[in-house]
Amino acid sequence: MNPDQTNTKPVGPFSVLAGEDLTGKRSRLVILTHDTGVPETKLPTANTADALYQLQEEGADATRVSIERFGPHRSFRVPLKDAVNPGDRLVLADVATAADKGKVRKLPVAAGTYRVLALAREAGVADQNVLCDSVGPFDVVVP
């Protein structure tokens, strides 16, 4: 065993403080951030945010919640903003709409920079938890 690797975990959820009220937000994508050095998790505030974690157990602000790395080589179910088809590239839903923060949508055709986080594995409709495979992530610029 490598003694430099204490307090590590290869995969699976871990506990962290909620940096905002995450009640009712289970399965959404979240960011890992901090409050004066203390780790916490929040919903993304930018469409290109590093939303690399999925909320597994929800909770109120300042309570312990559970998140898991939304990592490659895994399948997850994530709430949808709009309909998708298998193979669609999935990005964060527009964070300007509070009710959609942490949801995903297919890559828009509107001009902008988007961060692809997953590929849809099945067809899905709005508010469904769609089966998807997480990827890289990588940015796409739509002209």
Condensed to tens digits (0 to 9), the pLDDT of residues 81-117 reads 999 999 999 999 999 999 999 999 999 999 999 999 9
| Among 52, 69, 86, residue at a domain's last position | 69
- b/e for 100-139, b at 16 or more Cβ within 10 A? bbbbbbbeeeeeeebbbbbebbeebeeeeebbbebbebee
Per-residue pLDDT at 89: 98
- Please tell me whether residues 93 and 136 are part of one structural domain: yes
Kindly provide the residue ranges of all beta strands, DSSP E only, lying in 19-128, ordered along the sequence.
29-35, 38-42, 53-57, 64-69, 75-79, 89-92, 104-106, 112-120
At residue 72, the pLDDT reads: 79
Using the 3D structure, point to which of 51, 69, 87 is the last residue of a domain. 69
Mean pLDDT, residues 17-45: 98
Is the residue at 26 inside a domain?
A: yes
Tell me whether residue 27 is in a domain: yes
Residue 101 has a pLDDT of 98
Q: Is there a domain that residue 1 lies in?
A: no
Number of domains in the chain: 2
Examine the domain organization and report whether 130 and 80 are in the same domain.
yes
Whether residues 59 and 85 fall in one domain: no
- pLDDT, tens digit (0-9, with 9 covering 90-100), for 57-87: 999 999 999 999 998 788 999 999 999 999 9
Instruction: Decide which of 26, 46, 69 is a domain's last residue.
Output: 69
Q: Is residue 129 part of a domain?
A: yes
**Whole-number pLDDT of residue 1:** 62
Residue 48 and residue 29 share a domain: yes
Range of 130's domain? 75-142
Is residue 3 in some structural domain? Answer: no
**3-state DSSP call for residue 61?**
coil
| Statement to judge: residues 98 and 65 lie in one domain | no
Asked if residue 2 is part of any domain, the answer here is: no
In a domain, 63, yes or no: yes
Q: Are residues 79 and 116 in the same domain?
A: yes
Mean per-residue pLDDT of the chain: 95
**What is the reported pLDDT for 93?**
97
